[in-house]
């Protein structure tokens, strides 16, 4: 019987511990209280013999105490594990539902409460008195039930639980001392080492580097007197995101969200105000064309709008911006792209690509489903080509090859090129994610939208996309998170993102030889942002859950 085996294991563990201590293999001096652990173990085993649930708790507690006081010495871990497994077995047995007692067997045929109704006893039966509900056994509710079902069920899970606890304990015991010797105020690695030497402790974490180089990690080589511009852009970013992400925010703010990209460009790069304005005008023109061409049917309408916008950007936007700057020179100090760096560059590339890749991905997914062979073909080739090529080759293309293809003398900003490539890359993935969502929608939804007279774009916008995107949320956010972390690849084409900056920080004599602290910090910042996205996607899924309630 498992209970007996558990008690035996607990006893063996405790007694072995006592013997080891007495023989001097385990030092009692680590903590006087350590002596309690084996005693508790014996007590637990004895209590368990009397059949009380407290026994397993005492035994488990003794096991933990053993680990705490004797550390992760092999000689201590084995008895502790024995005690823990024993505790688990006893607990598992205590928690087993007990067989029905005799009194409740009255439910069947011929108890005093039951009467035969047609003479054929043992078949028909009518209950004479209703039973009141009885409280559930202690082991079936609350923490005890949770512990049993999740940590101490059967014999595999107690073993795994104990092994996991040991592993976690080991990791913490390795890292915690290093972290506990953290030095925050230091101007160089040498100062850190001096502090540790003075205190007579081994080396710890030298966070002075974050303190010292925080601005560089955040802004790269952005002029320090202009830090307020990226800061303001970040603050306004939250304002612009609020109406997109949350429903409680006034809808009018969406206008600000639409204007934000151009405002952010003006804040980050600066220069003439007419450059972002003329870029924005292209969108306005496209929208006007979309409205005016509506009578021509969806294909001509969309094509015309795209052409109008492209014509503006390629032919007229440049002269317009130049002439307007001549007439009304408004602007602020221009910051070149090679001054950008650190998290500023990660966020700029990541967020722009996220914002641009979703609409592009949706269009590609629709294109792939289109009945028109040309559009379908272009979409399929694009998606398959981009997905089949590593991002890093696209980035190299952006940084090197594009110059060959563009007319000589064109200066095409490197960050902009990278943004375009990352966007295209993510859009191809998103297109496939969205296609999955589209495929999950029943045909009846399209038919219902058609039968109500909704045209293609209205049906997509009001009926199809809200449902398809809702289904695809996990995949979409997955792609976004991947994209965001992939921005660190730009280090290979010479952009100084946080990873790239670690090299230049180490290149200074002050911080030669510092690795962990920088990477932990960068990792933590990335983790916070990605985790935020992940939590938001879960919130969104919950909010949009309208089907089964």
Partner 1 sequence: MNAPDTIPEVPEIPVDRTIDTSQMKVTDEVAISITAMNKWYGQFHVLRDINMTVNRGERIVVCGPSGSGKSTLIRCINRLEEHQSGQIVVDGTELTSDLKNIDKVRSEVGMVFQHFNLFPHLTILENCTLAPIWVRKVPRREAEETAMHFLEKVKIPEQALKYPGQLSGGQQQRVAIARSLCMRPRIMLFDEPTSALDPEMIKEVLDTMIQLAEEGMTMICVTHEMGFAQAVANRVIFMDQGQIVEQNEPREFFRNPKSERTKLFLSQILGH
CB atoms within 10 A of CB 401: 12
Q: Which is nearer to partner 1, 122 or 291 (by Cβ)?
A: 291
d(CA 162, CA 62): 13
- Considering only CA atoms, give the Rg of the chain: 34
- Which of residues 20 and 463 has its CB atom nearest to partner 1 in the complex? 463
* Exposed/middle/buried for residue 101 (C-beta within 10 Å: 0-12, 13-18, 19+): exposed
CB of 372 to partner 1, least distance (A): 13
Contacts of 197 (CB under 8 A, 6+ apart): none
CB of 498 to partner 1, least distance (A): 40
Question: Least Å distance between CB 474 and partner 1?
Answer: 17
In the complex with partner 1, the residue whose CB is nearer, 298 or 303, is: 298
Tell me how far apart the alpha carbons of residues 515 and 517 are, in angstroms, rounded to a whole number: 6
Long-range contacts of 377-384 (CB under 8 A, 24+ apart): 379/431, 382/428, 383/428, 383/431, 383/432
Task: Pick between residue 66 and residue 467 the one whose CB is nearest to partner 1.
Answer: 467
Nearest distance in Å: CB 470, partner 1: 7
Nearer to partner 1, 319 or 466 (CB): 466
The CB-of-298 to partner 1 minimum distance in angstroms stands at 8
Q: Which is nearer to partner 1, 225 or 291 (CB)?
A: 291
Query: Under 8 Å CB-to-CB from 100, ≥6 apart: which residues?
Result: none
CB of 450: closest distance to partner 1 in angstroms?
Answer: 6
* Residue number, 108 or 372, with CB nearest to partner 1: 372
Which residues form the interface with partner 1 (CB under 8 A)?
297-298, 442, 444-445, 447-448, 450-455, 458, 462-463, 466-467, 470, 544, 546-549
Residues 6+ apart with CB under 8 A from 130: none
Asked if 326 and 396 count as a contact pair (C-beta separation under 8 A), the reply is no
Tell me if residue 331 falls in helix, strand or coil: strand
Cβ neighbours of residue 440 closer than 8 Å, sequence gap 6 or more = 468, 471
302-306: list long-range contacts, CB under 8 Å, 24+ apart.
Answer: 302/457
Nearer to partner 1, 175 or 448 (CB): 448
Judged by beta carbon, residue 19 or residue 296, the one nearer partner 1 is 296
Smallest gap from Cβ 377 to partner 1, in A, equals: 22
Rounded to the nearest whole angstrom, what is the least distance from the CB of residue 315 to partner 1 in the complex? Answer: 31
CB of 254 to partner 1, least distance (A): 18
Judged by beta carbon, residue 98 or residue 549, the one nearer partner 1 is 549
Sign of CA dihedral 300, 306, 309, 313: negative
State how far the Cα of 429 lies from the Cα of 472, in Å rounded to an integer.
12
Show the tokens assigned to 42: 């014996």
Spatial CA neighbour of 359 closest among 469, 242, 436: 469
Classify residue 26 as left (phi > 0), alpha (psi -120 to 50) or beta.
beta
User: Please, what is the minimum distance in Å from the beta carbon of residue 293 to partner 1?
Assistant: 14
What's the closest the beta carbon of residue 64 comes to partner 1, in angstroms? 48
By C-beta, is 244 or 328 nearer to partner 1?
244
Helices (H), 440-515: 443-451, 456-459, 465-486, 498-506
Residues near 422 by beta carbon (within 8 Å), at least 6 away in sequence: 349, 350, 353, 357, 391, 394, 395, 483, 486, 487
**H or E stretch covering 394:** helix 391-396
């Amino acid at each position: 019987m498992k209970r007996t085996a558990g008690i035996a294991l607990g006893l063996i563990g405790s007694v072995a511990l006592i013997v080891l201590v007495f023989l001097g293999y385990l030092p009692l001096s680590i903590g006087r209280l350590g002596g309690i652990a084996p005693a508790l173990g014996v007590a637990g085993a004895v209590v368990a013999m009397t059949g009380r649930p407290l026994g397993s708790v005492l035994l488990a507690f003794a096991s933990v105490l053993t680990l705490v006081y004797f550390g992760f010495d092999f000689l201590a871990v084995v008895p502790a594990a024995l005690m823990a497994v024993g505790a688990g077995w006893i607990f598992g047995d205590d928690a087993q539902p007990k067989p029905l007692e005799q009194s409740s067997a009255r439910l069947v045929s011929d108890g005093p409460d039951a009467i035969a109704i047609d003479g054929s006893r043992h078949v028909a039966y009518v209950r004479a008195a209703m039973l009141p509900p009885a409280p559930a056994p202690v082991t079936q509710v609350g923490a005890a039930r949770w512990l049993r079902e999740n940590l101490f069920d059967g014999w595999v899970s107690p073993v795994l639980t104990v092994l996991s606890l040991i592993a976690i304990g080991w990791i913490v015991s390795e890292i915690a001392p290093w972290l506990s010797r953290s030095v925050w105020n230091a101007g160089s690695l040498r100062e850190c080492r001096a502090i540790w030497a003075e205190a007579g402790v081994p080396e710890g974490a030298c966070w002075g580097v974050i303190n010292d180089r925080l601005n560089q990690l955040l802004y790269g080589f952005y002029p320090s007197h202009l830090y307020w511009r990226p800061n303001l852009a970040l603050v306004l970013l939250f304002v612009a995101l609020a109406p997109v992400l949350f429903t409680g925010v006034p809808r009018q703010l969406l206008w600000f969200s639409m204007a934000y990209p151009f405002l952010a460009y003006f804040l980050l790069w600066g220069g003439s105000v007419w450059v972002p304005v003329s870029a924005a005008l292209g969108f306005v023109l496209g929208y006007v064309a979309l409205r005016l061409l509506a009578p021509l049917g969806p294909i001509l309408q969309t094509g015309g709008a795209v052409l109008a916008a492209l014509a503006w950007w390629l032919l007229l936007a440049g002269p317009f911006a130049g002439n307007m700057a001549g007439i009304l020179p408004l602007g602020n100090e221009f910051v070149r792209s090679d001054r950008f760096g650190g998290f500023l560059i990660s966020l700029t590339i990541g967020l722009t690509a996220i914002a641009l890749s979703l609409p592009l991905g949706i269009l590609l997914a629709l294109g792939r489903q289109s009945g028109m062979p040309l559009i379908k073909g272009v979409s399929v080739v694009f998606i398959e080509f981009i997905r089949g090529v590593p991002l890093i080759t696209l980035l190299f293309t952006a940084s090197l090859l594009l110059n060959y293809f563009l007319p000589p003398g064109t200066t095409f900003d490197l960050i902009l090129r990278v943004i375009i490539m990352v966007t295209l890359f993510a859009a191809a993935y998103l297109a496939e994610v969205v296609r999955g969502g589209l495929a999950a929608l029943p045909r009846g939804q399209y038919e219902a939208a058609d039968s109500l007279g909704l045209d293609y774009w209205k049906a997509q916008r009001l009926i199809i996309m809200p449902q398809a995107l809702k289904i695809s949320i996990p995949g979409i956010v997955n792609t976004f998170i991947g994209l965001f972390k992939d921005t660190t690849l730009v280090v290979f084409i010479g952009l100084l993102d946080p990873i790239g900056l670690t090299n230049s920080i180490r290149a200074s004599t002050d911080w030669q030889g510092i690795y962990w602290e920088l990477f932990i910090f960068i990792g933590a910042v990335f983790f916070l942002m990605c985790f935020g996205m992940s939590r938001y996607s879960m919130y969104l899924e919950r909010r949009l859950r309208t089907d089964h309630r």
